[in-house]
Amino acid sequence: MKAFYEKVSHAGGHSFGYSSFSLPRFNAPFHYHPELELTLIEKSQGKRLVGGHVAHYEAGDLVLLGPNIPHCWLNAEVEPPEMDAAQAIVIHFRADFAGETFLTLPELMAIQQLFQKAQAGLLIKGKTRDIAAEKMRSGLHLQGFPRLLLLFDLLHGIALSSETERIDLFFSQQVLSPVETERFQRIYTFLIENFRENISLEQMAQIANLSPTAFCRYFKKITRKTFVDALTEFRIKHACQLLASSEKPVQEICFESGFGNVSYFNKEFKKALGQTPLQYRKYHLSLPLVASKP
């Protein structure tokens, strides 16, 4: 997986992209693009990466991303594999897709402010999410002007809601040069691909083209985490997915997630989540089954 600049294209006669996907797994790598992106996960669960933030996602996850935020959705393994294990509706649009001065209209001030908030990535929750999800589904059956109106209605509803949460405000406040942006993507792409392996500080420093000391300072400045903390976070998130979605023994999950021994795994897991891996699994097994759509 290589972080890259993605050129988002639209079908002829359209000013923004509106697509649905049904795949065995999401295949977009850690990437970025100048378009804003509104993504509704219809089916799937796993890890969502936005900027330097890692979080669990599941069906119903709805996120608005501002321009040039590196991101990807990593599926948890599904056993047995399913051809439609990953389903999503995705809308791509430029901030000025309706014209450079359009958002300066007083009636669109809320949407303009929404785009500013989305620079940090925005998680949409509660009733707002449910209403927005239904609108996004209905938009799949529209074309032309009705779909354009629906997009503005969708964005306006999110803009007026208090049921939103910024995902990585700190990352959005970093003013990174193109060189530093590329360096960060290179580092995080390597982490995404290799967190289950034995990664050394020297190895990461070489990838970043920095000395080990300079790399530690750089990583902490961008993410507010030490490299070891970030690596542990990736491993814990992966272990959580396996505990909740498989019957694999804890010892097997420990090593499959990149931890060297079970005692250390149990210690770090409890420090991060306040419960042991077995307690986490027992809790998730007790949850009622829910439909794949919110």
Place of tokens 């804003």: 36
Closest CA to 222 of 254, 263, 181: 181
Nearby residues of 102 by Cβ (< 8 Å), 6 or more positions away: 96, 108
**pLDDT of res. 171:** 75
Residue 73: the pLDDT is: 93
Per-residue pLDDT, 21: 92
Residue from 211, 191, 14 nearest 94 by CA: 14
Model confidence, pTM: 0.78
- The CATH homologous superfamily to which domain 175-285 belongs is Homeodomain-like (1.10.10.60)
d(CA 193, CA 171): 21
Residues 6+ apart with CB under 8 A from 248: 242, 256
| Integer Cα distance of 235 and 172 in angstroms | 24
- The residue type found at 6 is E
Q: Report the 3 state secondary structure along 215-258.
A: HHHHHHHHHCCCHHHHHHHHHHHHHHHHHHHCCCCHHHHHHHCC
Q: What is the residue extent of each domain of the chain?
A: 4-171, 175-285
Select from 2.60.120.10, 3.90.110.10, 2.40.160.40, 3.90.220.20 the CATH code of 4-171.
Answer: 2.60.120.10
pLDDT, averaged per 10 consecutive residues of the chain (294 residues), comes to 45 83 88 93 92 90 93 81 90 92 90 94 97 97 95 97 92 72 85 91 94 94 90 93 89 95 95 94 68 39
- 3-state SS class at 46: strand
